Chain A
Amino acid sequence: MTLTVETYGTLAEANAARRGDSRYLAGGTLVMRDLNYAVPGLSRVLRVSNPPRAIRQQGERLSMDAGVTMADVIESREAAFLAPVARSVGGPAVRNMATVGGNLFAAHPYGDFTAALLALDGEVQFVDGRTQPMEAFLAERDRAPLVASITMRMPRTGEFRFRKVARVKPKGVSVMSIAAWLPGAPMRVSQVRIAFGAMGPTPLRARAAEQVLEGKVLDASGIERALSVATQGLAPVDDALASAWYRNEVAPVHLRRLLLDEEPEP
């Protein structure tokens, strides 16, 4: 089957051209692999000549166009709290291309950036103007139209923490990633949001742990119950990096390190 590349002026036009045989190409770090391997049924590539790449502060929230790359995030002053997250994605070559929009759709074990967005109460804005909370979006992302932008809460200093657990450092793929928004940290926390990457088909929230942390101080005794329910609601799978069993065993260990703000292992 011949392959065609169609270039559009806007995301909305590209969205209108989508069919079963087509795929939107953003940074292409995942799509190009499918093209190179001639994945069956994929014969049209849709791209937009200059997709928007702005990062804007809107009150307490930060908005990012889907076309923003990991390298853009690292350079941005407003998004400085996300720089460690963006830096954890692939190597420099991948980060120069990989977009925030593409990360929303990246299959397990990818999606580290999306886990952070989930913890930060992210919201997705589609090309048709509709919006959807991150959690609902992830549950049905296969049917989503093209994404125009994402917004998230801007945490106060010290309230947002992120860890990526990988076997190969610094560029390994996640055994898991953990992102937590901890309003009030390190004192009494409230309305905590914790998201795990690579612990299920999409990034998932650890709701049970979030609930038992309500009103707790982040010290060894304050987090004890949260650790015991850390993996409730998660659905890890076996893959080449780690078994589901292993992931479940070590998840509370890594969550403890994050909540106690221990130095990550070298």
Chain B
Amino acid sequence: MPVEFRKDLFANERDDTLKEIGQPRIRQDILGHVSGRSPYYDDHLFEGLLHMRCVRSPHHHARIRHIDAGAAERMPGVVRVVWPADVPHNINTLLSLINFGRDDEALLQPSRVTYIGEPVLAIIAKTEREAREAAAAVRVDWEPLPHVLDVEEALKPDAPTVNGEYPNNTFDYHDLYDHQKLRFGDVEKGFREADHIVEGEYRMSPIEQAPIETCGAIAAPETNDRYVCHTATQGLFFSLAVTAKLLDIASSRLHFIGGTVGGGFGGKVDSITEPMAVLGARLTGQPVKFMWDREEEMQVGAPRGAELWRIKDGVARDGRILARQFTGFFDSGAYTRLSSYAVVKGTGHLPGPYTIPNVASNVYCVFTNRTPATAMRGFGITGVDFAIECQMDKVAEAAGLDPIELRILNAYRDGDMKAHRREAKNCALIECCQVAADKARWPLSPQSRAASSMTEGGVGWRAEIPETVTDQVGRIGERRRQALPSEPGAGAAATGRVAAGMRRDDRSVELPPQVADMAKEQERTGYSGKVDLPDHAAPASVQPAPATPVQRPAAPLPTQPPPPPPPPAGTAPSLPPAAQQRADDPEAAEQARRRAASRFISGTRRRR
């Protein structure tokens, strides 16, 4: 089926000079793939290549009493046994590179394994077969410990601790709570006003990305005291930085070469094979390959994690959703990897693309004795979107409404206030629903057909941040001492109220680029406005806004005067407040308007 563009819906979005999309172009790498010439990391041949294999935990949770690698060490072909103590800095967390979370995972686990397949030792041998045979000959004296595989079991006070760095089995959010909170309005009030209460529970299993090429890397000593590493990684510099940290080596001594990734889908960012291979090369002075086989890829390759979502909706007779409450659990497995971030990202996505005046959510990043989870396409969003859209169908049924019309009725429109206190822009769900209904010859009512993302949004309550009920339930460690309900607001001895109208980003403006080569390239972005170069910027008139402290959604917000009243329906959207403040200075106002408009340049719809 040919691609059909509905550019009419986005006519004002940007100058549409796209030359490639929709054209029958040949993928730049496809010739190599079909002719078998694409070079993969494993195609690099090295004289005297050694092979590395891990000894892995057969238990969900166990203490290592003793490891006897004596027999393995004496087996033919074995060059070196690699112990946890051989890893110079044997502790890391992937997102430490952006300062998020605490180091919680060893490259080789020295004392206590917390998932099946966790590596405790590695063998380097002359052939892969010899490495396998030696790994099988290592004797480990395990002391199995009680384990927990279910996110809600893991939150109980007597649950075994999985991750020593997070003894409560939950990632710590903002040094304050054992979950990520989102509070907007008053869901209890919304439930009271509703005609229907619709509740649903949705579960997603872990999903393995299943690349055809399993994760792997080959490292070899290079001249100048460097190591070259050919890898299948999806994030070359990410893997390089992780390797530098774990091996305590200057990144300038690491020469990483990526290239063809034989299928990644999020499963090749965790950067485990690269530090292992470089460590092997460093310990032996020879080229070393560390490659997962298919079973390892399935068992220890980090999947998209399991998720559990409970949604409770309060729905008016006409189908308007008045309140929506989420309780979500991301199963992070035994270590953090990237799940902590998936929770934040998922929360930013709530309550789905719908304008709902009262929203509350508690989302937990939970440690269990399962394979650590990581990224996969639509990471952090796919699971909750599945839950939300199933729930929308359920709501439609409860309210006796057509499921597409229900979506159109509740959809974000331009200018609406989202639950995380940002204005909805570039909305197009209504238009997507209309086009999809047409294609499926699905009848729509005249109102639904006439609806538009560009009208009726941002008016009255739709533009406002309502008075918001807060609570302080679920502080870090609280759940260890006593069982607590997991849903928002439940069990709150004290709740607070934050006055309506608190926006946090009213005054942000875009800063001019500091040097010329940071300027946006018109060619690439499709942005057709004037390009700000440093010498164009008038520093005096473009003072950066005073930094507004970033508020945690649930923390008390400072009192501020309410935002200016919304313009009457039908007039052009108002200037961003930053521009309004300088309305007396036309030039500055013009500049601020343009900057505000170009903040996310490729997605900014400019209206006449």
Contact = CB atoms under 8 A, between A and B. Distances in A.
Interface of A: 1-3, 36-38, 40
14 contacts: A1-B133, A2-B76, A3-B129, A36-B293, A37-B132, A37-B293, A37-B295, A38-B128, A38-B129, A38-B132, A38-B133, A38-B136, A40-B133, A40-B136
Contacts of B132: 37-38
Interface in B100-157: 128-129, 132-133, 136
Contacts of B293: 36-37
Contacts, number: 14
Ranked 5 nearest A-B pairs via Cβ:
A38-B132, A38-B129, A38-B133, A1-B133, A40-B136
Contacts of A40: 133, 136
Nearest to A38: B132
Contacts of A37: 132, 293, 295
Contacts of B128: 38
A21 to B, nearest CB: 14
A3 B293 CA distance: 20
Interface in B292-309: 293, 295
A40 B128 CA distance: 14
A157 B573 CA distance: 75
Interface of B: 76, 128-129, 132-133, 136, 293, 295
Contacts of B129: 3, 38
Contacts of B295: 37
Nearest to B295: A37
User: Which of the listed residues B76, B132, B295 has the most CB atoms from chain A within 10 Å of its own CB?
Assistant: B132
A1 B132 CA distance: 10
Contacts of A38: 128-129, 132-133, 136
Nearest to B293: A37
Contacts of B133: 1, 38, 40
Given A3-B129, A36-B293, A37-B132, 11 more contacts: A1-B133, A2-B76, A37-B293, A37-B295, A38-B128, A38-B129, A38-B132, A38-B133, A38-B136, A40-B133, A40-B136
Nearest to A33: B294
A119 to B, nearest CB: 33
A39 B449 CA distance: 64
Nearest to B129: A38
Nearest to B131: A38
A128 B132 CA distance: 37
A2 B77 CA distance: 10
A121 to B, nearest CB: 38
B523 to A, nearest CB: 44
Nearest to A3: B129
A37 B131 CA distance: 11
A2 B129 CA distance: 9
A37 B128 CA distance: 9
B56 to A, nearest CB: 14
B208 to A, nearest CB: 11
Nearest to A2: B76
Contacts of B136: 38, 40
A3 B295 CA distance: 22
B375 to A, nearest CB: 23
Q: Which of A2, A3, A38, A40 has the most CB of B within 10 A?
A: A38
A36 B131 CA distance: 12
A40 B132 CA distance: 10
- Chain A CB count within 10 A is highest, among B76, B129, B133, B295, for B129
A241 to B, nearest CB: 14
A37 B133 CA distance: 9
A36 B295 CA distance: 12
A1 B78 CA distance: 12
Contacts of B76: 2
A1 B133 CA distance: 8
A37 B295 CA distance: 10
A239 to B, nearest CB: 14
B55 to A, nearest CB: 14
A61 B76 CA distance: 53
A265 to B, nearest CB: 23
A214 B516 CA distance: 88
Contacts of A2: 76
B135 to A, nearest CB: 9
Contacts of A3: 129
B300 to A, nearest CB: 15
Contacts of A1: 133
Nearest to A40: B136
A108 to B, nearest CB: 18
A2 B136 CA distance: 15
A40 B133 CA distance: 8
A38 B76 CA distance: 14
Nearest to B137: A40
A135 B293 CA distance: 36
A214 to B, nearest CB: 45
A40 B137 CA distance: 10
Nearest to A240: B298
A123 to B, nearest CB: 36
A216 B84 CA distance: 70
A83 B128 CA distance: 39
A40 B136 CA distance: 9
A36 B293 CA distance: 9
A3 B77 CA distance: 14
A167 B450 CA distance: 43
A202 B133 CA distance: 30
A168 to B, nearest CB: 11
A188 to B, nearest CB: 47
A38 B51 CA distance: 14
A191 B295 CA distance: 44
A1 B128 CA distance: 12
A40 B129 CA distance: 10
B333 to A, nearest CB: 19
A1 B76 CA distance: 8
B299 to A, nearest CB: 12
